[in-house]
Each structure stands twice: as C-alpha cells, then as structure tokens.
A and B are shown apart, each in its own frame.
Chain A
Amino acid sequence: MRDVSSRREAERLSLVRRIKDKLFLVILVVLSMAAFLPLFHIVASILYYGGWTLLRGGLSFLVDTPPSPLSSNLGGIGPALVGSAVLVFLTVILGLPLSFMAAVFTVEYPNTLVARVTKLVCRSFTEIPTVLIGVLSYTLVVIPMGRFSALAGAVALAIVMVPYSYTYMEESLASIPRTYREAAYSLGLTRPRAVFSVFTRIARRGILTGVLIGLAKAAGETAPLLFTIGGLRHAYFNGPDHPVGAIPLLIYEFALTPYRVYREVAWGAALVLIAIYLVIFVVLRRTVREVRM
C-alpha cells in the first residue's frame, strides 16, 4: 500500500515539474516576443508614415528646403542632410585620431597612470548623459565663438563617439598575441614602426569597427546637437564656423510642433535616418559578430 502511494506522490511531483517547465517555456516565448515587438513596430511605422512622405515628395524631398508651417507643399530635408554629412565628416576627423592614438597609448604603455585613467574615463564616458556633453560644448565652444556652429556640434559628437571607438580599437590592439608582437620587434622594428606597420594591420578589423561605430553615433545622436549647431533650416552650408542643420535634430524639432506638414517631414526624415543607420549596421555586422552601442 505504502509503495503505491509514494509512487503516486512521485508521479504527481513529476507532473507538477513538467507543468512548471512548460509554463516557463510559454512565459519565455511570450516575453521574448514582447521584447522584439517594439523593434518591428518601430520599423513598420517608419516605413509606413515615412514611405507616404517620400512617395509624395519624391527625390526632391532629399534636396529641397523644409516647407513653411502652413504650406501644403512638402519641401524637403536637403539642408539637414548636408548638415549631417558635414557633422559626420568633422566628427570623424576630430574623433578618430584621438581615439586611435589614445588606444595605441593605453596598449603600448599600459602601466602608466595616464593609460589607466584614460581607460577608466572612457569606460564611464559611455554612461554620461549626452545632453550634458552638449552643454559642455555650448559652454566651451559656442559661448567663446559667439554663435552656434558645425564645429561646436562636431566637438560634442566627437566626445560622445571617442569612448565607443576607443573601446573597440583598444580591445583589438590589446588582443594581438604576444608572439606576433615579439616577431615584429625581433625584426628590429622600432616601436612606432611596429605599431603602424604591423599591429595596426593585424587589428584592422577592430579599428574599422571603431570607425563605423563612430559614424553611427555621429549620424544618429540628437542631444549633443541641441545647443550646439543651431539648426540651420533654409540654407545648406555656410562654413564649419556657422550653424548647420542635422537630420536627428530636425526630426526632434519638427515632431514637437503642431503643424501637420512638419510631422510628415519628420517621418520622412526618420525613414532616411533609419536607412543610413541600417547601412552602417549591416557593414558593422559583417566585420564583427557582436556590436555594442
């Protein structure tokens, strides 16, 4: 008798465990679907609303200046597109040498105080609210210059970008096997030559990743531009020391207005922005498996 009841007990237990296991799987699947749902919904919404705008505006949407608030004419995002290109260019010029050289420094002279501090600072910089970096650039560049400028925006974007590209470059330079390093030195190369003609080539994948992450950040960030570039809307480009527009900033500003045509333009610009981002991302995925942003 006792034997039977304990067997029943065991069966009941195993049933409970099996039910729990299945329930767990259901919860996992539901939550995982819920996690990805927003991504698809965002992409679908941008394709839908932005698609309408682009269909209406055609190719001139990429070239024209924005409409006036109450016009029925759609206009375009030409100035913002030019501004974003200028900003990306300036940011990369400012940020790349900085992150690359800093990465070389921390890998080649790891035991110095400056190297340790640089590493630590870059790690915490990715967590600093980007709006504060905009405030910093406003205080240090815009106020002394007396006006908003592409340069001020690029300084802010470079500060945002450096920690990300630095991290990738540093990791890839540091992961070069010791034997390769010793082989380079045993050829009689000096350290600068070993770095620039051997190590850099071995680590080129990581360095390229750093460049691409920088591009993605420079093209997509909004908050650092709020108080720095001034948002030029109706002219294309007057020089790096003058205000420019930018696509993310245009989306932000136009979306907050009550005008219908502005919102349409914002959705169209969002479609352009997500297309740029996707192109950079696909290239990134081909160079590295894991992209951390």
Chain B
Amino acid sequence: MRFPSREDRMFFYMLLPFAGVVFIVFVLLFEVLIQNSVPVLLREGLKFLTSSAWRPSEVSPDQEFYGILSPLVGTLYSSLIALILALPTSIALAIFINDYTPPQLRDHVTGLVDLMAGLPTVLYGLWGAFVLAPILKTYIMTPLSLYLGFVPVFGCRPITGFTVFTAGTVLSVMILPFMTSMIRESLASIPRTYREAVYSLGATRYEASRMLVSMTKPAVMAATLLGFGRAAGETIAVSMTIGNSFGLPLCMFEPSYTISSLIANQFANAGFYHYMTSALYAAGLFLLATGLLLNSAGVYMLVKWRRTYRR
C-alpha cells in the first residue's frame, strides 16, 4: 500500500493493531470452540446431534455420553413460538407507528420501542419467572390444555409455570422491539411517490398498508431471520423460564432446555466429568455456526433490499 506521507504511514500502523484485535478475537472464539469440541465430536460423531441422551457418569469416562438433540429441539421450539407471537405483532406495531401515529408522538413511541430493546435481559427473566409464568399457567396454559387438549401441542397439563411456552412468550417480548424497528425502518424508506400512487388509486388505508408491507417483504424476512437468531441465542431470560430439564417435548407446556441455557446451567460443573466440557463447547460451536449463518442470510437480504429503493 502507498501512503501520501510518512505521518500517514505511521498513523496506519498505529491504528492497525486496534482493528486487528477485533479480528483476532473473532478468530479466537472459533479456535477455542473448535479445539475444545474435538474430543467429543471425534468420539461420538454425528450421534452428538441426533441423540437425546445426556449421560454424565462419575464412574468412568467410558459410560459418558452426550447428545444435544433435546436442547436443540427446545431451542427451535421456543424460538418458533417467539416468532409466531412476535412477527404479526411487530408488523402491526411498525405500521401503527409509521402510518397512524401523529408525527409529534412518533418520536416518543419509537423511544419506548428502543427502551424495550435495550432493557437488561435479566429483568425480562425475573419478570417472566415470577410474574408472567403464574399468569400464563392459570389463564392460558391450563385452559388450553383442558379445552384444546386433543391438539398435540396443547396435549398436556402444565405442572409448573416454567415451560417452553413461557420461555417462548418471554422471548417474543424480547425480540419484538428489535423486529419492529427493522420493519418500521424499511416501511419508512419506501419512497413517498409509491405511497401517494397507492392512495391516488383510491385505496383504503388497509389496502395501502397491505401493499406497502408486501413491498417490504425481503426486509420482513430479514427481520424474521435475525429475530430467530436472537431468540435462539438468548441465555439468561430463557434459562430462568424454560424449566431446564431434558426431554423431547411435543407439548409446549412441558419444561425443556435450550443450547444456551444448557451451557449456562452445566458449564460450571462440567469439569467433574471427562467429556462434558467438550460437549458444551461443541454445543456452543453449533449454536455459533447456525447463528452466524442465519445472521448473514438476514443481513444479505437486508442489504439487497436497501439497494432496491436507493437511486
């Protein structure tokens, strides 16, 4: 590289380490996870992903076996519930803020959304565990299981308030502000002329909103992917509300585990066993890889979409 002056070159080399550190940390994260997950992956191979047995053993390392199928299913299940609840709500809220809120109020409403997005996750967890869980159990989960019990996903009575459904509900509250801001931004970035064209055809607000939302479809998809990634990676609030127990729940009123809550709960004691630490690193690696994949897909769609209207 050529520099216009000596100071410029020195400045470059002075700043380089700082930017380099960011990259190095990223590489280290992968390195640490991969290196430490090798033992369990070599020993169990694909069974690590497809087995739902989680057998620590104090007697001998040979009897140990770790499969993450059940936390994997728990992660997907709770994140899916979160998305189903959060997606329509965030689209509605985005439209409401963008098209129905008077301009002088809009700032305050987006402020509230941002406030929600940054609220420490442990507060969501505390509220979810002690306030929301009992409410959901009495007024939603028990009635649903009583009257709609023939539907498989409602087919069991909740024993405690700590279930996949509770965790999914808390997660939906947490990803909602994030998804709302993304969808709202994309709605606001549709050029005014399109909006006016729709109304000039005599469309009602409902018809116009439907059209505008369908124009932002890629951005909504991106918000869905990124929201899913956030929900799957969330640790503290989930670990406080999901009940933390192994099992492959079909019914959403049973307790379960997610990968991140598994790591949060077991990592501290994993050192007592021979392979458990490695299994947890491998679970983390899997979580990281899928998270990054979802994230890149989402960001890619977003970037592509932003180019559509930038002229």
Contact = CB atoms under 8 A, between A and B. Distances in A.
Interface of A: 17-18, 20-21, 23-25, 27-29, 31-32, 34-36, 38-39, 41-42, 45-46, 49, 97-98, 101-102, 104-106, 108-109, 112, 114-115, 117-118, 121-125, 127-133, 135-136, 138-140, 159, 162, 166, 190-192, 195, 216, 219-223, 226-227, 248, 251-252, 255-256, 263, 266-267, 270, 273-274, 277, 281, 285, 289-293
Interface string B80-98: 0000000011101101110
Given A121-B26, A127-B229, A131-B235, A39 B116 contact: yes
8 contacts: A42-B119, A45-B130, A102-B22, A129-B288, A132-B29, A221-B120, A248-B236, A281-B114
Contacts of B29: 128, 132-133, 136
B126 to A, nearest CB: 5
Interface of B: 1, 5, 7-8, 10-12, 14-16, 18-23, 25-26, 28-29, 32-33, 36, 88-90, 92-93, 95-97, 100, 107, 110-112, 114-127, 129-132, 173, 176, 180-181, 204-207, 209, 226, 229-230, 232-236, 240, 260, 263-264, 267-268, 280-281, 284, 287-288, 291-292, 294-296, 299
Nearest to A27: B92
A31 B39 CA distance: 49
* Most chain B CB within a 10 A radius of its CB, from A97, A104, A135, A289: A135
B295 A124 contact: yes
B267 A31 contact: no
A216 B23 CA distance: 24
A36 B29 CA distance: 36
Nearest to A14: B204
Nearest to B281: A135
Contacts of B280: 135
A25 B14 CA distance: 57
A105 B16 contact: yes
Contacts of A140: 28, 32
B120 A277 contact: yes
Contacts of A29: 96
A289 B103 CA distance: 14
Given A131-B235, A132-B33, A162 B121 contact: no
A293 B125 contact: no
Contact of B267 (A35, A114, A118, A227): A227
B131 A291 contact: no
Given A114-B23, A138-B267, A192-B7, 14 more contacts: A24-B209, A29-B96, A35-B92, A101-B15, A102-B22, A104-B15, A129-B232, A129-B287, A135-B280, A136-B29, A191-B7, A226-B264, A252-B122, A293-B114
Given A98-B18, A129-B291, A281-B115, A28 B234 contact: no
